[in-house]
Structure 1
Amino acid sequence: MTFDRSPKIAPSILSADFANFGAEIRAVEDQGADWVHVDVMDGHFVPNITFGAVAAAAFRPHIRTVMDVHLMVARPDDWIADFARAGADVITVHPESGPHIHRTLQSIRKAGAKAGLALNPGTGLDGVQWLLDDIDLICVMSVNPGFGGQSFIPAALPRIAALRAMIGDRPIHIEVDGGVVPDNAGAIIAAGADVLVAGSAVFKGGSTAAPEVYGRNIAALRAAARSGA
């Protein structure tokens, strides 16, 4: 996984057909996805339950690009090793999910994955500057985590810009997750992001029987993103 700041599209398989994950993953990658985003929810940290490490390990053989795992869970330290063994390239955690975020980020890197820090809409940026040398990705949540299909919160844009300035020339991705559509993708990239997580915006209207719809959706996001690059 090499670093660059070109705009990347990361479909969230939370919006895929749960009965057909392998084929769905192959379809979106064949249609131009750069990463595959795996939302892990435990019903405690967020009000929903999705995938565990066993599911992630099952997804891994179908993912040729980057497996981007977002842990929306309580006590993430208990699961880092399992998701690293499952093949996660990136593991992202929330600072509120455990008592010692610096230690958690170090554990992710020690396990062999890139370390991501996710910031909820109400999470302040004050402490981020002290963690920059220990992270590879910052995920700006532009919705409240827990469910797909929510609308983008516009206040995310100045937060992205502030983080971009804070990061400087460090090799840290800024990912945006929540309500990303072609209408806002250009503004998100212009603010300083380079990874767009999109669920409904990629999977809407398509299927493994009609993967070209995924391709059109991804192309629309990419064209909008490039307009802001």
Structure 2
Amino acid sequence: MLQQRLDRIRNITPAVLPSLLQCDFGDLRGELERLTKAGVEGLHLDVMDGHFVPNLSYGMPIVAGLRRWTDMPLDVHLMISDPAAYIDAFADAGADMLTFHIEAVENPLAIIDQIHRHGIVAGVAINPDTPMDRLDGCVEATDAVLVMSVKAGFGGQAFRPEAIERLKSLREAYPDLLLEVDGGIKEETIGDCRQAGCDLFVVGSAIFGQSDYQTAVSRLRDLL
């Protein structure tokens, strides 16, 4: 199951992943239909606990609800203090990929193993102010690294260009690693991230802030 999920995600790269944090939750099924018509091939779900980050979002019921209505890969980003306590529940809800923050855990290898036991793709996220050496010892065990180009917690922040160098260094060191970027991804930044070796691009307002999702997604894809 893990290899099937990993292969499926690899096969859609480079991919634009809409961040549902900025969608209209009063019309979630309608938003899903619009995104599907726009041709997106995966969805990014930001889970926030009000503790690891100073914001609250949603949990397992949203993942489970989306799983009932789409077979697209669901990339679940756990911006929470205790990911180990919730991995099993998010696996049951239908996540295809679970990403936790290196800053939130003492033993990332144990979290990666817990995710893999469910046959789910494992990702490790790192905030822009966190030294890259925090990833030492766990990159070889994980399937993906999510480079945050803004501090985790809120949408609409400006892209931090040091993310480009982080992506480049990871790509040079780990040619087969899935690389993802999140924060401030729009027409002006997505191409540079792709040139740096990124595979998955989390996009919020550059899609949900536009009246025509299909045009917005097409423009972003053209830049990839």
Normalised-by-shorter TM-score class: over 0.9
Scaled by the length of structure 2, the TM-score of the pair is 0.93
In the alignment, which residue of structure 2 is the partner of 1:38? 45
What 5-or-longer segments of structure 2 have no aligned partner? none
Q: Is the contact between residue 102 and residue 135 of structure 2 (CA under 8 Å) also seen in structure 1? A: no
In the alignment, which residue of structure 2 is the partner of 1:224? 223
* Deviation of the 1:137 alpha carbon: 1.2
Scaled by the length of structure 1, the TM-score of the pair is 0.91
In the alignment, which residue of structure 2 is the partner of 1:131? 138
Once residues 138 and 122 of structure 2 are traced to their aligned partners in structure 1, the CA distance between those partners, rounded to angstroms, is 11
Q: Secondary structure at the match of 1:83?
A: helix
Q: Is the contact between residue 210 and residue 216 of structure 2 (CA under 8 Å) also seen in structure 1? A: no
Q: Which amino acid aligns with 1:222?
A: R
In the alignment, which residue of structure 2 is the partner of 1:210? none
Once residues 61 and 37 of structure 1 are traced to their aligned partners in structure 2, the CA distance between those partners, rounded to angstroms, is 16
* Partner residue of 1:190 out of 187, 191, 195: 195
In the alignment, which residue of structure 2 is the partner of 1:179? 184
Q: Is the contact between residue 26 and residue 63 of structure 1 (CA under 8 Å) also seen in structure 2? A: no
Identity over the aligned pairs, expressed in percent?
A: 37
Change (3 A) 1:63 1:5: closer
Once residues 41 and 6 of structure 1 are traced to their aligned partners in structure 2, the CA distance between those partners, rounded to angstroms, is 26
* Deviation of the 1:117 alpha carbon: 0.4
What 5-or-longer segments of structure 1 have no aligned partner? 207-212
Q: Is the contact between residue 100 and residue 123 of structure 2 (CA under 8 Å) also seen in structure 1? A: yes
* Deviation of the 1:129 alpha carbon: 4.4
Q: Which amino acid aligns with 1:214?
A: Y
Once residues 144 and 90 of structure 1 are traced to their aligned partners in structure 2, the CA distance between those partners, rounded to angstroms, is 21
Q: Secondary structure at the match of 1:149?
A: coil
Two-structure CA RMSD over aligned residues (Å): 1.3
In the alignment, which residue of structure 2 is the partner of 1:114? 121
